[in-house]
Amino acid sequence: MIEVRFHGRGGQGVVVASEVLARAAFKMGFEVASFPFFGVERRGAPVTAYARIDKEPIRLKSSIYEPDYVVVLDNSLLKGVDVLEGLKAGGRVLLNHPEGKKPESLPKEFRYFVLDATSIAASHGIGSRTAPIVNTAIMGGFAKMCELVSLDSILESIRELAPAKEEENVAAAREAFDKTTELVR
């Protein structure tokens, strides 16, 4: 079973990102589960969402405590939230970080992938200039980081789930796929 934990803030599309992943994996023949965890439901508050992918039926319904992948939609969460908590040895982390740089303070035992999803989303007019919605861009980056789910499947799922600006969201995901890089340790 592959387990993915998403960290972001209300209004960034964290829950939709987990749904895009689940739908994309389902289209590829996997069993899936995706669900959010909310604290205080308001724009800007930390939000966590989860996705599980497996070839067998998924009966586990708990939160994900030992993910294989962690996706961080808002790099400000690196201060104050332990986004790496429980990440399996050799786990992969996708960071939305300005200029695609990894903060120096992160542990070296994980693989890090970075992209500037905020700039990509803003350039495609997704959300507003001051509050871009980064979920579709981050999912393009996820397709690059996790070869299990194809970019085409992600793009098809974005087309189905995007409430507006369908082609802009698809273009943002494509651009993010191209611009996601793995950081060399």
Q: Domain spans of the chain?
A: 2-182
Q: How far apart are CA 152 and CA 126, in angstroms?
A: 20
At 10 the three-state DSSP class reads coil
- Assess contact for 129 and 84: CB atoms under 8 A: no
- Contact in structure between 20 and 158 (CB atoms under 8 Å): yes
Which CATH code is given to the segment(s) 2-182? 3.40.920.10
pTM over cut 0.75? yes
- Please report, in tens digits, the pLDDT of each residue of the chain (185 residues total): 999 999 999 888 899 999 999 999 999 999 999 998 866 556 678 889 999 999 999 999 899 999 999 999 998 898 888 999 999 999 999 999 887 566 677 888 999 999 999 999 999 999 888 889 999 999 999 999 998 999 999 999 999 998 889 999 999 999 999 999 998 76
Using a CB cutoff of 8 Å and minimum separation of 24, what contacts does 154-158 make?
Answer: 154/20, 154/21, 154/24, 156/24, 156/27, 157/19, 157/20, 157/21, 157/23, 157/24, 157/27, 158/20
Non-local (6+) Cβ contacts of 40 within 8 A are: none
The predicted structure's pLDDT at residue 164: 87
pLDDT of the residue at 105: 76
Three-state SS letters, 28-96: CCCEEEEEEEECCCCCCCEEEEEEEEECCCCCCCCCCCCCCEEEECCHHHHCCCCCCCCCCCCCEEEEE
> Would you say 132 and 96 are in contact if contact means Cβ atoms under 8 Å apart?
no
pLDDT at 184: 77
Question: What is the pLDDT, as a whole number, of residue 29?
Answer: 97
**What's residue 7's pLDDT?**
95
pLDDT at residue 137 in the model: 97
